[in-house]
Amino acid sequence: MVKKLQKLAAKQSAAAGAPSVAHLLDNQFAGAVRDSAQQIWQAGLGAFAKAQGEGTKVFDALVKEGLTIQRKTQAAAEEKITEVTEKMTKLSGGVQVKAGQQWDRLESIFEERVAKAMGKLGVPSSHDVEALIARIDTLAAEVAKLSKAPAGKAAAKTAAKKAAPAKAPAKRAAPRKRSAA
């Protein structure tokens, strides 16, 4: 639409022979655009020169800020890791306790079943063996009491054996020779 208006204005100015308002406006607009473009170019050059001059300062400042942020991030991460480690330690402790209880329960069930099977096979239990040992000890004590009472008779028999002459050992018969057949 603007182009149509410009063409129309150009035709009118050519017909009239004098510069038209549109032509004047175009020249002013073009000058304003040139001035604006020139200012933008100069601003860009100024920014470039300033960035070159202060670039190292800005870069160093950014590095320092980056280090600060990195330290804060690492500290926060280490704190979270410590927190998670503590939670996992507590959780594993609970799991170990529960597992230990389950193993104890399983072990007692196993022991009961083995004892029942051994009882069916007639194998004496540790309680039975202990009872037998106690009974043997009691019997041994009674035997010891009984053997002390007739000590005179036992001593007389021992003395008689010592007084009797010792018999000469019997000669052994020579082994038979086998015939080679």
Spans of all domains in the chain: 1-41, 92-130
pLDDT of 51-73, one tens digit each? 777 777 777 888 888 889 999 99
pLDDT of 118-168, one tens digit each? 888 888 888 889 999 999 999 999 999 998 865 555 555 555 555 545 554
How far apart CA 10 and CA 102 sit, in angstroms, is 101
Is 50 exceeded by the pLDDT of residue 98?
yes
Report helix, strand and coil shares of the chain as percent, to nearest 5.
Answer: 85, 0, 15
- Which tokens hold the place of 15? 């017909």
Identify the residue whose tokens are 């202060």.
Answer: 54
Helices 151-163 + 126-148 axis angle, to 10: 70
The per-residue pLDDT for 181 is: 46
> Contact 22/5 with Cβ under 8 angstroms?
yes
Of 140, 138, 115, nearest in space to 128 by CA: 115
Nearest-5° Cα angle at 44, 42 to 50: 105
